[in-house]
Amino acid sequence: MVNIGLTGGIGSGKSTVATALRARGAVVVDADAIVRDLLGPGGGAVRAVVDRFGDEVVGEDGAIDRAALASTVFQNAEARNDLEAIVHPLVAVRTTEIVAAAPEDSIIVHDVPLLVEKHMGRQYHLVMVVHAPAEERARRLVEKRGMSHADAMARMSHQADDDARRAAADVWLDNSGTEEELLAQVEKVWEERIIPFRDNLIAGRIYRPENSSVLVDYDEQWPAQAARIIDRLSAALGDKAPEFEHVGSTAVPGMEGKNAIDIQVGVRDLHEADDPEFVRILTDLGYPRVEEYRLDHPTDDLPDPSLWIKRFHGSSDPGQVVHLHVREIGTAGWQYALLFRDWLRGDPGAAEEYVEVKATVDAQSNSVEEYRRSKAPWFNEVWPRIQAWARKEGWQG
């Protein structure tokens, strides 16, 4: 199954998106709805909340008066933390129950208001963020919820800002226009990304783009994309992989490259990468093993192929091509990937030369494999220059 995190600031239109996804067949886990049940008459959190905040937060029906509770915790960080310590574990339990009851081919959408604030993005295959400008959100809150403008702005100020949300977003839904325009974006993402991603996950296959070798201009979002990928990998693999690095062309600021994020996954011993549990974790995360790629191209001064062995995983997500290069820490291939990246970062002329080489090879190649083979001689040719640069700069991997 695919687990998707859905979030957005208050008044952004997140609930509209959740409703649209539910209508398309998603199983929506609504954190706010779970909290309402927990705080309702006989709810699982009522007793603990009363014990902490007193009888004044209880309504006549025995439910927690959420307005009274909000006024108590809104400006008090300690009280807010205490409330979260009561409620969040119970929400997690109920969420686990809902997910466990869903069919294996389900698309699970976790509607979580504080996803960004609580750094929960690593828990999901994708994070969708619904965005609207602050003034538009305030207007909606005033008109639809009866808040004062000052109250609306105050509530927004206690949430993550746009930069933090954008850094967390795999999918950015712009809700500054009409509802129809928002729903059109949802439909496109559902059909072109979420459904194929789910199908690829179930089949354990990678997404293979038709024009994977096409060069594109540098994208300012590449570092953030790599950071999200590494965060998920680190959380899933734990001490099985102690090192992750963003490598390749997309790790070089300003340089053209293929729209594919290359991540080097460092393991202590390459045999660990062949552990079925290691492979399963990556496959479930959306990164199946690709068996045909097991060797980097040796250089003339280090011709022993055993120094260049790796494992390779692609990505199931059609919206984000990812290459995971699993290498043993300290090997020639591991060092080359880091040094090559840093050389390109430190020598603008080298970066320009590499772009020219890629463009020439791309124009002459009829397949991805031919593209890779055709670049290999250049990597070997520039190795002495890279080593000279490393000595001059005092580079250490």
User: Per the annotation, where are the binding residues for ATP?
Assistant: 11-16
Question: Please, which residues have CB within 8 angstroms of residue 246's CB and are 6 or more apart in sequence?
Answer: 223, 226, 227, 230, 261, 262, 263, 264
324: phi then psi, degrees, rounded to nearest 5: -100, 115
Residues annotated within the binding site are 11-16
Name the one residue in this structure whose structure tokens are 């850094």.
Answer: 167
Token pair of 58 as six digits? 């209880």
For 333, other C-beta atoms within 10 Å of its C-beta total: 19
- Per DSSP (E only), the strands in 71-183 are 107-111, 126-131, 171-174
Cα separation of 53 and 63, whole Å? 13
Contacts of 48 (CB under 8 A, 6+ apart): 86
Q: Packing angle between helix 66-73 and helix 46-53, nearest 10 degrees?
A: 50
Spatial separation of the C-alpha atoms in residues 71 and 79, rounded to whole Å: 11
Residue of 156, 185, 152, 143 whose CA lies nearest to 20: 185
Residue 362: what are its φ and ψ, rounded to 5°?
-60, -40
Spell out a b/e string for 341-379, using b for 16 or more CB atoms within 10 Å of the CB, else e: bbbbeebeebbeebbebbeebbeebeeeeebeebbeeeb
